[in-house]
Amino acid sequence: NAGVTQTPKFQVLKTGQSMTLQCAQDMNHEYMSWYRQDPGMGLRLIHYSVGAGITDQGEVPNGYNVSRSTTEDFPLRLLSAAPSQTSVYFCASSYSTLEAGNTEAFFGQGTRLTVV
C-alpha cells in the first residue's frame, strides 16, 4: 500500500517564488492535514480538511493555501515564499468512527523546503 505520498522530497525556492507541495492518500480517509516541523516546536498545524470541498485553517495558516477537490488529494500552495517558511512539511491523513474514536494519523515522508 502506498499510504500517504508527498512530493517533492526536497525543494529550494527563492524568496517570492510560489510552488505547490503535493499530497495524496489511497486509504479513503476523510481527514487530511498539513503540518510544519521546526526545531524545538514540534509539529504545527497549517491547514486541515474534514472531507472533499471542506478546508479550514490551523495554527499557522498565513502564507499558505489549500484545496480539497477529491478525497485523495490535498495540495499545499505557497503563494510567495519567504525565508520564514523554511521547514519540513508533513501531510497526514486519518479517519474516526463512533466506535473507535480518533484513529491514528498516517504521515507522508515529508518535504524539506529551503527558501533563500
CB of 95 to another protein, least distance (A): 7
What is the C-alpha separation between 102 and 89, in angstroms, rounded? 22
**Cβ-proximal residues to 50 (8 Å cutoff; 6+ apart), any chain:** 30, 31, 56
Among 13, 21, 48, 115, binds another protein (CB under 8 A): 48
> Is 109 a residue that touches another protein (CB under 8 A)?
yes
What is the C-alpha separation between 85 and 95, in angstroms, rounded? 28
Among 22, 63, 67, 95, binds another protein (CB under 8 A): 95
> Is 92 a residue that touches another protein (CB under 8 A)?
yes
User: Rounded to the nearest 10 degrees, how much is the dihedral formed by the CA atoms of 105, 71, 63, 106?
Assistant: 10
Residues that bind another protein (CB under 8 A): 4, 31, 33, 35, 40-45, 48-50, 56, 58, 90, 92, 94-96, 100-105, 107-110
